[in-house]
Amino acid sequence: MLEIYYKQKGQVVTTCEIDALDQLGYDDVLWIDLSAPTGEEKRAIETFLNTTLQSRAQAEEIESSSRYSENETAIFANTNFLIPGPESYSMEAVSFILCEGIIVTIRHVPLKSFTDVQRRILSNFRALPTGYHILVGILENRIDLDADMIELMSKEIAQYSKKVSLGGAMGEELLLDINQLQENTMLVRENIVDKQRMISSILKSDKFPRDVFVKLNVLIKDINSLINHTNFSFERLEYLQNTILGLINLEQNRIMKIFTFVSLLFMPPTLIASIFGMNVHLPIFGNLADFAMVMLIMLIAVGIVLIFFKMKKML
């Protein structure tokens, strides 16, 4: 799907018709947003801007030269946008092409950052007068959303920490939940670092207008603070995971201690019974005194074991 934002009589209007490009010039168009574009739509944009759009495979490459590059007429930037799911997060590659002050975006899923910026343009395009400003506006919105995700994860970590402190049920399910949180935290950090690389490349460019650099420097500071926060969250999750494993080991040791104590407690009576068992008649056959004597010896042996364990403070 294609959506073109262009200026008309002091306002910004939008159209989804490809043929509209034939009547528009570079000074009219602000933003061309391609969502899961067809081949025909991509060819029409390439013809209009006289440049080549990047493929999805190129957008997903991780090399620095593939994430940001410039030539005489255009700027190409690729980054990942994090999409939160019910339990796990996923990455979506997004391409930005800046040419003649026009920004072209290529994505394959709906993104809230784009919807918010599109709403801003339609209400007051003078706040985002060029494609360069629109790109910075999208990055600002995206970083705000990333900060919200980090805040939500911090609240989840606090809930798990409180659950452990209150002695809640601990087992495989809780460890898997914490492991999933660790994976999400690493994805968020990777996503933020990707934005950091992109903005650092933009700051080195001489093609961007100087008035956007102030906002970009603020974004870099925000990103650094978010990276520190994700590092702290990951360390907190590791500490929580180690605490849970330690508590599980203590519980297992307690159970093993009980089994060991029971085994040792009945070891002397078992030995006595095995010694006298073949030489003492059962009570129903007479010789009740011999049976009682063996039982008394066994009880004394149990008492000695109990006293020994108490003296060693093992009970």
Contact between 56 and 93 (Cβ < 8 Å): yes
Q: What CA–CA distance (Å, rounded) separates 5 from 16?
A: 9
Query: What is the reported pLDDT for 162?
Result: 83
- What is the arithmetic mean of pLDDT over 3-27? 83
pLDDT at residue 295 tops 80: no
pLDDT above 70: percentage of residues in the chain: 89
Local confidence band at 82 (pLDDT 50, 70, 90 cut-offs) = confident
Q: In 3D, which of 72, 269, 85 has the Cα closest to residue 187?
A: 85
Give yes or no for residue 290 having a pLDDT over 70.
Answer: no
Looking at residues 132-160, what average pLDDT do you find?
Answer: 89
Residue scoring higher pLDDT (314 or 196): 196
Pairing of strands 29-35, 102-107: parallel
127 Rama sector, left if φ>0, alpha if ψ -120 to 50, beta otherwise: alpha
Segment (H or E) for 7: strand 2-8
What tens digit of pLDDT does each residue of 178-225 get?
A: 888 888 888 888 889 888 988 888 888 888 888 889 999 999 999 999
**Average model confidence (pLDDT) for the chain?**
82
67 HSE (CA, 13 A, CB side): 16
Q: Residue 221 has what pLDDT? A: 92
In angstroms, rounded to a whole number, what is the distance separating the alpha carbons of residues 310 and 287? 35
Q: Roughly what angle, to the nearest 10 degrees, separates helices 213-276 and 172-203?
A: 160
Mean of pLDDT values over 271-287 = 61
| Mean pLDDT along residues 284-288 | 58
Contact criterion met (CB below 8 Å) for 212 and 132: yes
Mean pLDDT lowest for which of 113-122, 149-158, 277-286?
A: 277-286
Q: Let me know: does 241 contact 178? Beta carbons within 8 Å.
A: yes
Q: Where are the domains of the chain?
A: 2-248, 255-311
Model confidence at 144: pLDDT above 60: yes
End-to-end Cα, the chain, rounded Å: 73
Q: Specify burial of residue 35 (Cβ count, 10 A radius: 0-12, 13-18, 19+).
A: middle
Superfamily of domain 2-248: CorA soluble domain-like (3.30.460.20)
CA angle, corner 275, sides to 273 and 278, nearest 5?
Answer: 85
CA distances from 257 to 171, 247, 266 (A): 20, 15, 14
